[in-house]
Amino acid sequence: MNRREEQRLIDYFQSSHIAEQSIEDTLLDKAVVQGIQMGSRKRRSFMFRYRAGIMAGTLALCIGLFILMWPRIHVGPSPAADKVNFTAPDYVKSQISHNSAWLEAANHGLYQPINQTREQGGYRVTVDGVLADKRTMIFFYTAENMDGSSTPAVNNTKFLGTDGKSVSASVESDSFSQLSNKKVVQNRYILNFYGNDTTPDKFTFTGNWGPGQASDAKRQKFEIPVKLDRSKFINLEKHIPVHQDMMIHGLKATLDDATLYPLSTELGFSYDKKNSRKIQQFIKPRLTLKLQDQAVESAFRGSSLTENEPNRMYFNSLYYTDFSSLQFRSDGVEESLGDHLSIVVDTSKRELVHAPDDRVRLGNVITDSGSTEIQFHIKRGSNSLSSLDLDYSFTDGKGHTHKVATTRSESRILDPYSSHSSNDDFDVYHYFIDTKSYPQPLTIPITNYPGNEIRQPITIPIQ
Amino acid sequence: MQERQWAADACKGDEIAFHELINSQKRKLYGIAYSYLRNEADALEVLQETVCRAWMKCGKLKDPDTFIPWLYRILMNCCVDELRRRRRVDVISQEPQQGTIEMVDVNKLDIERVLNRMKPKYRHALMLKYYQDMTVPEIARILEKPEGTIKTWIHQGLKQLRGQIEQGGGWDHE
């Protein structure tokens, strides 16, 4: 009885078949390339949650890491780096070999086999080993579904310290996962430690394993204690005092020091506290070093912010690199518009009440039965500038705090996101709130906002 | 096999592999976008947005076998977003139209109108079956639902199509 509707649909989609076949390759290629470029820009910035309570509990430390992919071509690999001189499972060797700094560190004895296995409920999880220095830990594990054919999947993974709380580190989990077959997953996490926190000697790796879609009740909780030998790395650092000032358009910054670790390089900056104007980021920061007659750059990996200024900057490791000179370079700075910025919007009148400047405008307000999408248009500037980001909480006109909307099953937060149209000179920021009556206006704190771009080359000699 | 390797490498952050994989799918992705939006410029725009979102998030994928279904889901969500945006703009800027549709196939306009009002999940299922010619298990994999649910959605979608065209349209949902 559906045959007539089915035929109508098949006829209807004929025009899509024709469009699919007749579209020019150049147009498709342009869309693909622009999509990748946009994605590359956006994936540079994502926030890591960082356990509060450090730095004597007084300093609001915000780790805003702008992670670039670990580059495949790394500065300074010695000829010996091409060889694997440590014992590990093949997938670990393969992963470590992709990064010459990791390989150098592993070949210098910093890979520690753990080989701790737990089995329960048809699952087997093995912590294979750890490549670690004082600031970075790369953690390798294998999970196997011994009974079924589905791929084992994990949620709620944690690295718990001896106090039972999550260790103070940013955890990256999204860069590698390998299926040796459908039942076995090999994976890694990268933990970065900041401030006074360092790689611990004891911690417990926990997670809930089960089939991909299983609820928590159907998953197996694993707790695997791990012990490391910190004596292998705790003293491996080279500290270089610098104390060089730079001044740019009335903004002063001091490069205090550089510290080289086997798996990363850290620079420490301080700023003129009397000046109310602030640098919120350096434009295109990099380390330039001389290797024999060749100048090479070491890629920027991220920065940690104290009071919204980048007090520590992280680069790829130079520890095992034999350089003759080292410089910090940047193309300029981005000056912050100020602390505690916010957007105030009246969604019932569809009016933007307040924004930091006229680069933000209110776009559409789209109401569904479950959620209301507020679209903000932000004028597109230089690629080097920060992008708009809003907090996941906002306050209504009576000062009550609300969270952003979740999906109907409340299983997932509707994350705000940016989109981009090549026909417009602005990006669209999509922000979702529950559809209900709020006392107006709504105040949404800004967590990231493009500042004033000041372009002026900066060079500071380190060594 | 090649696509699986590209997907595995793309999940690890390999931009070249990601680009290759998208290249192998770009025409099909565009066609799907066109089937929703019926307009070349908008379909290209949605393709671009899909590639952007996929490149931003593909590192979170653990199983390369799920890459293509996941890519389709992103694309379909982008299309629904665009249709919602359009509907909103239409409401704001609707002008009375006169004498502009004489040359257009009325049957197709009817179907388009009904599809645009249909719940997205029914529309996705119908599009994958009657445009992409996919089997129910294939659709189930893309939409991450049991096969029985997909059969129900297709049945419901067809029923709505028949009912609304016969009645001349006009119902509310959600």
Amino acid making up residue A30:
K
d(CA A197, CA A171): 14
In terms of Cβ atoms closer than 10 Å to its own Cβ (0-12, 13-18, 19+), residue A27 is middle
d(CA A434, CA A447): 21
d(CA A392, CA A306): 21
Residue from B44, B48, B119, B161 whose CB has the most chain A CBs within 10 Å, to mutate: B48
Q: CATH class for domain B1-89?
A: mainly alpha
Does the domain at A342-452 match CATH 2.60.40? Answer given as yes
- Give how far B73 is from chain A: nearest CA, Å: 16
Question: Which token pair is A264?
Answer: 């990363």
Q: ω before A441 within 30° of 0 (cis)?
A: yes
Q: Are A36 and B51 in contact (CB under 8 A)?
A: yes
Instruction: Give residue-wise pLDDT tens across range A111-169.
Output: 999 999 999 989 999 999 999 999 999 999 999 988 766 778 777 788 999 999 989 88
In terms of Cβ atoms closer than 10 Å to its own Cβ (0-12, 13-18, 19+), residue B62 is buried
Which residue, A279, A392, A389, A276, is CA-closest to A341? A389
Q: Is A213 on the interface with B (CB under 8 A)?
A: yes
Q: CATH class for domain A79-232?
A: mainly beta
Q: Please indicate whether the domains covering A79-232 and A342-452 agree at the CATH topology level.
A: yes
Question: Which token pair is A76?
Answer: 């300074």
Q: Are A95 and A188 in contact (CB under 8 A)?
A: yes
- Give how far A54 is from chain B: nearest CA, Å: 29
Residues of chain B found within 8 Å of residue A421, distances taken between Cβ atoms:
45
Instruction: Write down the pLDDT at residue B114.
Output: 86
Residues of chain A found within 8 Å of residue B43, distances taken between Cβ atoms:
19
Q: Is A415 on the interface with B (CB under 8 A)?
A: no
Q: Is A179 on the interface with B (CB under 8 A)?
A: yes
| Domain formed by B104-174, architecture | Orthogonal Bundle (1.10)
Question: Which token pair is A12?
Answer: 């209807």
d(CA B38, CA A14): 12
Instruction: Give residue-wise pLDDT tens across range B128-168.
Output: 999 998 888 889 888 888 888 899 999 999 988 888 766 54
Q: Are A326 and A265 in contact (CB under 8 A)?
A: no
d(CA A247, CA A81): 40
Distances (CA, A) of A19 to A16, A30, A410, B103: 5, 17, 39, 19
Q: Is A457 on the interface with B (CB under 8 A)?
A: no
Instruction: Give residue-wise pLDDT tens across range A13-48.
Output: 988 888 888 888 888 988 888 888 777 766 543 333
Instruction: Give residue-wise pLDDT tens across range B55-73.
Output: 888 877 777 888 999 999 9
Q: Are A337 and A306 in contact (CB under 8 A)?
A: no
With a cut of 70, say whether residue B81 has pLDDT above it.
Answer: yes
In terms of Cβ atoms closer than 10 Å to its own Cβ (0-12, 13-18, 19+), residue B32 is buried
Q: Is A408 on the interface with B (CB under 8 A)?
A: no
Which residue, B67, B170, B48, B74, is CA-closest to B114? B170
Residue in chain A lying closest to B109 (CA): A12
- Give how far A420 is from chain B: nearest CA, Å: 7
Domain spans of chain B?
1-89, 104-174
C-beta atoms of A36 and B89 within 8 A: no
Instruction: Give residue-wise pLDDT tens across range A207-218.
Output: 888 876 566 677
Q: Are A362 and A351 in contact (CB under 8 A)?
A: yes
Residue in chain A lying closest to B88 (CA): A366
Residues of chain A found within 8 Å of residue B112, distances taken between Cβ atoms:
12
d(CA B93, CA A153): 48
d(CA A357, CA A359): 6
Q: Calculate the CA A233 to chain-centre distance.
A: 25
Residues of chain A found within 8 Å of residue B12, distances taken between Cβ atoms:
175-177
Which residue, A106, A62, A61, is CA-closest to A81? A106
Q: Which residue has the higher pLDDT, A434 or A384?
A: A434
C-beta atoms of B62 and A151 within 8 A: yes
Which residue, A381, A367, A284, A398, is CA-closest to A331? A284
Any idea what the Cα angle at residue A442 is, between residues A441 and A444, rounded to 5°?
145
Question: Which token pair is A7?
Answer: 């035929």
Which residue, B58, B70, B7, B59, is CA-closest to A174? B59
Instruction: Give residue-wise pLDDT tens across range A438-458.
Output: 999 999 999 889 999 999 999
Residues of chain B found within 8 Å of residue A23, distances taken between Cβ atoms:
27, 30, 40
- Give how far A37 is from chain B: nearest CA, Å: 7
Q: Are A242 and A418 in contact (CB under 8 A)?
A: no
C-beta atoms of B48 and A153 within 8 A: no
Which residue, A398, A391, A408, is CA-closest to A445? A391
The order of strands in the sheet holding A153-160 is: A153-160, A202-210, A220-227
Element (H, E) at A241: strand A238-248
Confidence of residue A88 (pLDDT cuts 50, 70, 90): very high
Q: Are B121 and B155 in contact (CB under 8 A)?
A: no
C-beta atoms of A10 and B130 within 8 A: yes
Which residue, A186, A421, A199, A452, is CA-closest to A333? A452
C-beta atoms of A23 and B108 within 8 A: no
